Amino acid sequence: MLLILTQLLFLSSCWDMEEIDGLGLVTAVGIDKGTSPNKYSVTVQIANPSSGTSGDKSSSTNSVWIGTEEGESIFAAVRKLVNISSRRIMWAHNNVVIIGEPLAKEGIIPVIDYFTHDPQLRMKTGVVVAKGEAKEYISANAGMESPSGISFILLESFRAISAESVESHMLDVTSELKSKYGNPLISTIGLKEVTMQGGDGNSKANTSESIDLSGTAVFKKDRMIGLLSPEESRGVSWILNETKDTVVTVNDPGHGNKSVSVETTGVKAKLKSEVVDGIPSFTVNVTGKGDIVEEDGSTNLGLNQVKENVSEMLNQKIRNEIIHTLEVIQKKYRVDVLGFAAIVHSQNKGEWKSGLKDKWQEIFPKIPVTVSVDIKINSSTLNQEPMHVY
C-alpha cells in the first residue's frame, strides 16, 4: 500500500496542460472576404496580452491586441495569425462572430463550417452581420466595457428591451441552415458616434464610433438577400415571441401632439396554422400586459378611459408593425424566415406530406395571416395621473 501511494505522487500532473500566457484568448472575431478572390480575412481581438506588436497587420491597446491575416481558407488565416501574435489562438472565450456584409451576400457556409468544426467554440456564441467590413468593428467600442467582445455579451443580453434585432447564436444559424426549409435571420450591427466625458467633468469630451446592435439581415439559405429595419425587426420579435419587456410609444389620447410610453410585460405570441382545401393560413395572437411609464400631457379624461384609449392605440400599433413586417418578408423577400414551414409540418402533418412540402417556396408568399393583439394596460407604474403644474 505504501508503494502504491508513493507512485501516485508521480501521476498527479495534467498531461495536456498549457500555460495561460501561451494562449491567445479571443473575445471577438471578424471574418471578411480577402483582398484577392477565394481568400478570407480573419481579424481577432485577444484580451489582456502581455505584449503586442504594431504595424500594418496588428495593433495593441492597454486591454486588447488586434491582428488580421488572410488565407485561402479561414483555418489557414487563423494559423497565420500565430506568426504575428506569438500565441496559440483559443476560441473558448469568444463572444461574437462578426461577418462582413460582402461575405454574407456571397455565402456564410465557410464561416459556419469552420466554427462548428472547432470543439472550443460555444454554440451560444453570438453571430452578427456587419454593415461593411467586419474588421472595422473589432477595434470599435461596444458599450461601456472593454474589450468590446466582452461588452457584446451585455449588448446582446439587453437586446429584448428595444427588440430592434433578433436572437442569433451559432446554434440558431446552424439549425436553420441544416433545415430543408430554414432561412436564417441574423442581427446586424452598425457604427454610431458616441461621446465620452472624463470623470472629473473638466476634461475634453471625446467622440468615437461605437457599435450599434439594431436591424436584421435576411438570408435565403446561406446568402444574405436584404435587411429589415429596426422597426421591422421588432415586428419579427413580436411574431417569434422574443419581445418580453419593451417600450412602445403612442399618441396621448388627450393631446395628439403629446406621447404616452407603455412598457409591455409578459408578452406571449401564439402561432396557429390551418389548412383548408390544401390552402394554409395562419393566425398570430399576441397577448400581454402594459404599464404607462410616461405621459407627456395632462387630460380631462378619466383614468379608466385613458387606459382604454392607450390600450387600443397600443394594440393597433403593434398589429400594424406585425402586418408591415409580414408584407416585407412575404412580398419583398419571399423567403420563410419565420419558421412557418415547421409550424405547418407540426400542426398539419397529413396535409404537409401530401403536397405542401413540395411547393412551399411557391406557397409561402401567398399565405394569408390574421393578426390579433390584446395588451391590457395596468395602472401607471408610479402615479395614477400624469404630472402637471397648477
What does the pLDDT read at residue 138? Answer: 87
What does the pLDDT read at residue 57? Answer: 45
What does the pLDDT read at residue 56? Answer: 42
What does the pLDDT read at residue 4? Answer: 78
Query: Which one-letter amino acid corresponds to residue 5?
Result: L
What does the pLDDT read at residue 211? Answer: 81
Residues 6+ apart with CB under 8 A from 388: 298
Model confidence pTM above 0.95: no
157-174: buried (b, 16+ CB within 10 Å) or exposed (e) per residue? eebbebbbbbebbbebbb
Q: Which stretches within the chain are classed as H helix?
A: 2-8, 74-85, 101-106, 109-117, 135-138, 148-157, 159-162, 170-178, 230-239, 303-327, 340-347, 349-353, 360-363
Domains of the chain plus CATH, in order, are: 19-228 (no CATH), 230-390 (3.30.300.210)
40-76: buried (b, 16+ CB within 10 Å) or exposed (e) per residue? bbbbbbbbebeebeeeebbeeeeebbbbbbbbeebbe
Low-confidence ranges of the chain (pLDDT < 70): 8-22, 48-62, 141-161, 196-206, 208, 254-256, 297-302, 379-390
Name the one residue in this structure whose C-alpha cell is 436584404: 226
What does the pLDDT read at residue 130? Answer: 94
What does the pLDDT read at residue 151? Answer: 56
255-268: buried (b, 16+ CB within 10 Å) or exposed (e) per residue? eeeeebbbbbeebe
Do 216 and 184 meet the contact criterion of CB atoms below 8 Å apart?
Answer: no
What does the pLDDT read at residue 83? Answer: 84
